[in-house]
């Protein structure tokens, strides 16, 4: 009996190890990491209305950072946003809303009027795509620089040096993906794929399936 | 021989069930954050002088943003954390600190804050600072807040994000509890983190 028991225990241990290994290797469930809390803010948008981080709760939000007088093509930032905006129908989002927020780090020139003109120039669907900034430059630096970890610096001649990036935030206000040009030029395909992964997690991560999703987070089964 | 095999199979199935039960991953009641960097360190004023988040490195720190005039959600959350700590062993509770950051420095002096948080648990710490400093700290912890006018100039309320944040021993933001988390849920997650 002892021999049977020992074999059984070895079998159990082996089964658990093989299951964990298989889960890690085959990644039947993929997720996006919960990287950090997205910064809170109160900005003014292109309609001269208040836009707060709280207004965007419950939605997936794709943030980017730029200034409207950035010489074209300006890293194709707005073109990428435009492409994601126009191809949103390809993602099964159910009832989850997606918003886009372009934050300007040039409040001296990017007034509400300038932001509105820019929004029109890039054919933004302003029901979901916001252009915002704040005259409080210290808070702006905190939000963009420390919160979204995106570097920018005023060169003093009306232009800025900056690291272009996109940041994807979920409905709980948690940063789920960062797309930094320093590591890989962003493209709409990857962002759209990630929106789909996020939506799938929200849709399926209930009941006992939640445990499988938590295991995917634990074993770092991240969508590429 | 047949009986031995049946008993063996029964024991193995029992072992399998026990193994699955005891080795199942802990399901946190809060949202787990896998931050690659330590959370933003801040320094604000308490009744005993300046307090930094990093002063408590080595302990689990719960950070809550509220104010002493808060009519409902702040006392409810602080009471739950106090009760959760009391439900734990004293040695475990001693490894946990709660820091309440007041969003109302105009009315909440450090002394008033110390007295307020002490009602919920003697280990709680109350801190606050200038509006500029609070704007920075709250932004980086995802806390939105704004004044909501009351019937007189002194009776305003402050609407604020009511999450309870948990920083681990190494200073990384580990968990975000939503408002409404229960005493047992807080205690369960804290005990698990302390045993890790």
Q: What is the pLDDT of residues A164-196, one digit of tens each?
A: 999 999 999 999 999 987 666 668 999 999 999
Residue B60 φ/ψ, nearest 5 degrees: -85, 130
Q: Which two tokens stand for residue B134?
A: 């609070």
Domain B29-195 has CATH 1.10.150.120: no
B4, with CB counted inside 10 A (0-12, 13-18, 19+), is exposed
What CATH number belongs to A36-218?
3.40.30.10
pLDDT score recorded for residue A10: 75
Confidence of residue A28 (pLDDT cuts 50, 70, 90): confident
pLDDT score recorded for residue A12: 72
In B, minimum Cα distance to A169 occurs at B142
CA angle A170, A176, A181 (to 5 degrees): 125
- Given a cut of 70, whether residue B23 has pLDDT beyond it is no
**What number is the average pLDDT over the span A196-224?**
87
- Given a cut of 60, whether residue A1 has pLDDT beyond it is no
**Are the C-beta atoms of B11 and A5 separated by less than 8 Å?**
yes
Shortest distance between the Cα of A121 and any Cα of chain B, in A, equals 31
Instruction: Give the start-end residues of each E strand in A88-218.
Output: 98-104, 129-133, 152-154, 160-162, 165-169, 174-180
Which region among A44-53, A76-85, A207-216 has the lowest average model confidence (pLDDT)? A207-216
Instruction: Say how far apart CA B121 and CA B85 lie, in whole Å.
Output: 8
**Are the C-beta atoms of B15 and A12 separated by less than 8 Å?**
yes
CB contact under 8 A, B40 and A34: no
Name which of A43, A164, A165, A169 is nearest A115 in CA terms: A43
Nearest CB partner across the interface for B33, out of A36, A40, A214: A36
Which region among A4-13, A201-210, B29-38, B98-107 has the lowest average model confidence (pLDDT)? A4-13
**Are the C-beta atoms of B117 and B78 separated by less than 8 Å?**
yes
Percent over 90 (pLDDT), chain A? 68
Confidence of residue A209 (pLDDT cuts 50, 70, 90): confident
pLDDT score recorded for residue A62: 97
Nearest CB partner across the interface for A214, out of B23, B27, B144: B27
pLDDT score recorded for residue A51: 97
Which region among A20-29, B28-37, B71-80 has the lowest average model confidence (pLDDT)? A20-29
The residue extents of the domains of chain B are: 29-195
Which region among A165-169, A205-209, B58-62 has the lowest average model confidence (pLDDT)? A205-209
CB contact under 8 A, B173 and A36: yes
Provide the sign of the torsion angle of the four alpha carbons A197, A198, A204, A209, taken in this order: positive
CB contact under 8 A, A8 and B36: no
Query: Which B-chain residues 29-68 have CB contacts (< 8 A) with chain A?
Result: 31-37, 40
pLDDT score recorded for residue A27: 63
Instruction: Say how far apart CA A22 and CA A188 lie, in whole Å.
Output: 31
pLDDT score recorded for residue A212: 85
Beta bridge partners of B158: B147
pTM for the full model?
A: 0.87
pLDDT score recorded for residue B27: 83
- Given a cut of 70, whether residue A21 has pLDDT beyond it is no
**Rounded mean pLDDT of chain A?**
90
The contacts of residue A100 (CB under 8 Å, 6+ apart) are A61, A62, A63, A64, A81, A84, A85, A124, A128, A129, A130
pLDDT score recorded for residue B86: 97
Predicted confidence (pLDDT) per residue in A44-54, tens digit: 999 999 999 99
Chain B residue numbers with beta carbons less than 8 Å from the beta carbon of A38 are 142
pLDDT score recorded for residue B67: 97
Predicted confidence (pLDDT) per residue in B65-124, tens digit: 999 999 999 999 999 999 999 999 999 999 999 999 999 999 999 999 999 999 999 999
């Amino acid at each position: 009996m002892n021999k049977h028991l020992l074999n059984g225990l070895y079998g159990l241990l082996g089964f658990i190890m093989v299951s964990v290994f298989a889960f890690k290797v085959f990644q039947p469930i993929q997720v996006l990491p919960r990287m950090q809390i997205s910064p809170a803010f109160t900005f003014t948008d292109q309609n001269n209305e208040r836009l707060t981080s709280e207004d965007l709760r419950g939605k997936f939000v794709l943030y980017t950072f730029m200034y409207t007088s950035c010489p074209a093509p300006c890293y194709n930032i707005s073109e990428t946003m435009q492409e994601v905006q126009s191809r949103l129908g390809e993602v099964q989002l159910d009832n989850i809303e997606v918003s886009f927020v372009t934050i300007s780090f040039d409040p001296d020139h990017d007034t509400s009027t300038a932001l509105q003109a820019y929004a029109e120039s890039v054919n933004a669907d302003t029901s979901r795509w916001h252009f915002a900034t704040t005259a409080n430059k210290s808070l702006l630096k905190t939000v963009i620089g420390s919160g979204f970890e995106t570097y920018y610096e005023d060169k003093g001649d009306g232009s800025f040096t900056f690291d272009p990036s996109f940041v994807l935030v979920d409905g709980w206000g948690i940063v789920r993906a960062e797309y930094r040009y320093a590591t890989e030029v962003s493209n709409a395909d990857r962002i759209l794929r990630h929106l789909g992964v996020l939506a799938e997690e929200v849709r399926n991560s209930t009941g006992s399936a939640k445990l499988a999703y938590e295991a995917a987070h634990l074993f770092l089964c991240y969508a590429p | 021989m047949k009986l031995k095999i049946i008993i063996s199979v029964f024991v193995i199935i029992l072992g399998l069930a026990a193994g699955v039960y005891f080795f199942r991953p802990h399901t946190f009641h809060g949202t787990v954050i896998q931050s690659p960097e330590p959370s933003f360190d801040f320094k604000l004023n308490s009744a005993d002088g300046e307090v930094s988040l990093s002063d408590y490195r080595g302990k689990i720190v719960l950070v809550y943003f509220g104010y002493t005039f808060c009519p409902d959600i702040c006392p409810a959350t602080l009471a739950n954390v106090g009760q959760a700590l009391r439900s734990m062993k004293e040695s475990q509770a001693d490894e946990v600190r709660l820091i309440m950051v007041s969003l109302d420095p105009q009315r909440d002096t450090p002394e008033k804050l110390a007295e307020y948080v002490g009602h919920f648990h003697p280990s709680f710490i109350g801190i606050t600072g200038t509006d500029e400093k609070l704007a920075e700290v709250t932004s980086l912890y995802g806390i939105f807040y704004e004044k909501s006018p009351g019937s007189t100039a002194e009776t305003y309320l402050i609407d604020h994000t009511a999450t309870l944040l948990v920083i681990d021993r190494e200073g990384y933001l580990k968990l975000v509890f939503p408002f409404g988390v229960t005493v047992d849920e807080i205690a369960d997650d804290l005990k698990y983190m302390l045993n890790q």
